[in-house]
Amino acid sequence: MTQRILLTGGAGYIGSHTYAALVEAGYEVVILDNFSNSARDVPDRLELLLDRKIKVIEGDVLDRAMLDRVFAKHDFDAVVHFAASKAVGESVKEPLAYMQNNIGGLVTLMQAMQAAGVFRLVFSSSASVYGNNAQLPIAETAERSYGNPYGHTKLVCEQIIEQTLASDPRWAVGVLRYFNPVGAHPSGLIGEDPAGVPDNLMPYIAKVAGGELPCISIFGDDYPTPDGTGVRDYIHVCDLADGHVLSLRSLFHEGKGHVVNLGTGRGYSVLEVISAYAQASGRDIPYLVAPRRPGDAAATYANPALAKEMLGFSARFDLGDMCRSSWEWVSTQAQSADA
């Protein structure tokens, strides 16, 4: 029997890659997205990529009445929940909007799920629940904290899930803590498409490589790291998508939940990423050293052992693959824009 999945935020960066992986794994998937942070042509691109019709519902997870109608119409077996705001800098300026959207959205969704008798959920969490002082490599047992309103919403959502599980054993939830998702689908049809000037490192470097931005500012080169620049655990978005397929499979087969890191276990510095991107793109990536960015940790990278043990997950792609796929996507986009 084909299992039917509701994918909230499925037109977004990670959501669209996960949509492709779920369909290729044999699931029947419906996307729910309000297109607040996703391009409207993503469903068309997914249809091209997968050669199939895409079911998309335009709506907001805060809209309980709409959710009740959606659950009444479709007999879902599980939900993968991406729909949330995710820009750290924006969360500092708009904490209430982040609390409402991220926490209110999860509560409304889980209430609608409970009313419809749907109790399997994969939740998009983040390594930002570990705060900035966790022992490296970071294991799931590390103490949680938060360094910004975005990370705070992810921590509160995890606690809401824990309380709900404790109150009702019918729930089975996969909590996936992403490290730094980067790269794009090898087809060049979907990828990260941030509006304006990106906050994150790799999409910014991509715009420098593409000539849209003049140079990258390295936020501090005096960290206690091998080359002084910040170290992060970058993970290919396609590896991340595969992690969601394995999480769902575990919920269906094991019937119980898990809380796991999705990272590679390997940290790369800003300078290493710049060098790898220059090699992948064949472009010069000018940079200058700027002051540290407030709230940044020196280094974060995952202990990936538990995801391997519980889900059989391990990342396949290395930094070169991530940069090449990003450059393929960015340069394909630029070509179609010039056409």
Q: Which of 45, 185, 232, 244 binds ligand WQD (CB under 6 A)?
A: 232
Comparison of 76 and 204: residue with beta carbon closer to ligand WQD: 204
Task: Specify whether 301 is catalytic.
Answer: no
Comparison of 3 and 91: residue with beta carbon closer to ligand WQD: 91
Q: Which stretch binds ligand WQD (CB under 6 A): 98-106, 213-221, 245-253, 317-325?
A: 213-221
The yes or no reply on residue 216 touching ligand WQD (CB under 6 A) is yes
235-250 in b/e form (b: 16+ CB < 10 A) is bbbbbbbbbbbbbbbb
Neighbouring residues of 111: CB distance < 8 A, sequence distance ≥ 6:
64
Comparison of 3 and 264: residue with beta carbon closer to ligand WQD: 264
DSSP summary character for residue 265:
S
Neighbouring residues of 253: CB distance < 8 A, sequence distance ≥ 6:
none
The yes or no reply on residue 76 touching ligand WQD (CB under 6 A) is no
Q: Is the peptide bond before 286 cis (omega within 30 degrees of 0)?
A: no
Residue 282 sits at the vertex; the CA angle it makes with 280 and 287, to the nearest 5 degrees, is: 90
Neighbouring residues of 51: CB distance < 8 A, sequence distance ≥ 6:
none
Contact (CB, 8 A) for 45 and 190: yes
The yes or no reply on residue 93 touching ligand WQD (CB under 6 A) is no
Q: Which stretch binds ligand WQD (CB under 6 A): 28-36, 99-107, 217-225, 241-249?
A: 217-225
How are beta strands 55-58 and 78-81 bridged, if at all?
unpaired
Contact (CB, 8 A) for 233 and 179: yes
> If 0-12 CB within 10 Å is exposed, 13-18 middle and 19+ buried, where does residue 186 land?
middle
Of residues 12-41, those binding ligand WQD (CB under 6 A): none
Q: How far is the CB of 216 from ligand WQD (least distance, A)?
A: 6
Nearest Cα residue to 219 out of 294, 150, 146: 294
Q: How far is the CB of 178 from ligand WQD (least distance, A)?
A: 6
Q: How far is the CB of 66 from ligand WQD (least distance, A)?
A: 26
Q: Which stretch binds ligand WQD (CB under 6 A): 55-63, 75-83, 198-206, 313-321?
A: 198-206
Q: Which of 93, 293, 308, 316 binds ligand WQD (CB under 6 A)?
A: 293
The yes or no reply on residue 219 touching ligand WQD (CB under 6 A) is yes
Q: Which stretch binds ligand WQD (CB under 6 A): 34-42, 60-68, 210-218, 255-263?
A: 210-218
Catalytic one of 27, 98, 150, 223: 150
Q: How is residue 292 written in tokens?
A: 């540290």
The yes or no reply on residue 67 touching ligand WQD (CB under 6 A) is no
Residues of the shown chain interacting with ligand WQD in the complex, contacts defined by CB under 6 A: 86, 88, 126, 128, 178, 180, 199-201, 204, 216-219, 230, 232, 270, 293, 296
